Structure 1
């Protein structure tokens, strides 16, 4: 009887600790993810700080894929807002490593594939002339994977629309096709329901901005 009671107390104690850890994780992530909706976050120093915070959360919560995902997201955004192309490959390598960890925890993830596409696009920027074929193809392949994993993910159509808008026509770009794709993205955003308050939900304001440029 004593052993049974002890076991019940231990189970109860572990459940309490797990609940507390879960609440702490949710609180920490909610604050950090909410900050990503602010344009002020998308400055080089702010993105470095965010990356470090998400990596610390990931280190503490090794079974959660989202901190690794958001760390990679901040790293690849740093590639696009930074002025030093010499830092892009290092940032892209770190983002790819975080995405590997996220995908191990949550395989065949459309959101992860979208960020992998952005990583490839960032690498291409270093030297478009010599890298265009390799990384342009990789970016496209990752978007197709993202679509196959979840065809309702609006970020798939945002990234496809962005690619069509900024790719020269001789290489397959098209403003009219971009417009159609971005309109689809906005329809998907209107119907999209994130799995939680900390699930990926970025991109809708940017899709609207790109659609204005495509018209």
Structure 2
């Protein structure tokens, strides 16, 4: 009897640890995202093509490309990554409409465009980006990525106009607390804590 119970326990343990191909691929891609945005984007893109109704792989394609668009590459490569990021944000928005997580990505990508060419995109995207973050915040005031990136956008705007960033530091403090309370489910977004902590340096 004891042997049967042990065998069943081992069987259930093995089944619980077994991963589907999707889970394995997503896990590997998320690990890549920590060190190689380009390779991660390619992996997530392959997953997205296989999981056509799932918004998460497309979301991470966009995120990986956004992370490659902060000026660390030449103009042509940066332009290509921003265009691909927009393509997958649009796809993600179609798969998961009115999702604050996707609004954050669009806000970040808009900032990339402004950094890329402020003379063209500064006036064009600034008001739209502010409106986007306010919409996301109204929908999800306890989402740490929404709270953090909204605060960072407002701080960036304040710096541009030579204003004090201090009024927005409380938003970063709130975001850090929310990150501590967040419980990620599956492959749902959970990034952003370190960037928030780094942003707090401007508050010291």
1:48-88 per-residue CA deviation (whole Å, 9 max, x = no partner) reads: 11111100001111111100000000111110152323443
Relative distance call for 1:170 and 1:107 in structure 2 (3 A) is closer
SS in 2 for 1:80: coil
Greater CA drift, 62-71 or 125-134? 125-134
- Cα distance, 1:172 vs structure 2: 7.4
Aligned pairs for 1:161-200 (under 5 A) are 161-169=151-159, 171=161, 173-194=163-184, 196-200=185-189
In the alignment, the residues of structure 1 paired with residue 83 and residue 160 of structure 2 have an alpha-carbon distance, to the nearest angstrom, of 31
Aligned to 2:136: 146
Quick check: 1:210 aligned with 2:199?
yes
Relative distance call for 1:32 and 1:168 in structure 2 (3 A) is same
**Alpha-carbon contact 1:160-1:178 (below 8 Å) kept:** no
In the alignment, the residues of structure 2 paired with residue 74 and residue 209 of structure 1 have an alpha-carbon distance, to the nearest angstrom, of 19
Quick check: 1:98 aligned with 2:88?
yes
How many pairs align?
A: 186
**Alpha-carbon contact 2:71-2:116 (below 8 Å) kept:** no
In the alignment, the residues of structure 1 paired with residue 183 and residue 162 of structure 2 have an alpha-carbon distance, to the nearest angstrom, of 32
Relative distance call for 1:112 and 1:172 in structure 2 (3 A) is farther
TM-score norm. by structure 1 comes to 0.78
Relative distance call for 1:97 and 1:108 in structure 2 (3 A) is same
- Structure 1 runs (4+) deviating above 6 angstroms are none
- Cα distance, 1:120 vs structure 2: 0.7
- The gaps in structure 2 that reach 5 residues or longer are 1-18
In the alignment, the residues of structure 1 paired with residue 163 and residue 79 of structure 2 have an alpha-carbon distance, to the nearest angstrom, of 25
Aligned to 1:30: 27
TM-score norm. by structure 2 comes to 0.82
- The gaps in structure 1 that reach 5 residues or longer are 1-21
Cα RMSD between the aligned structures? 2.0
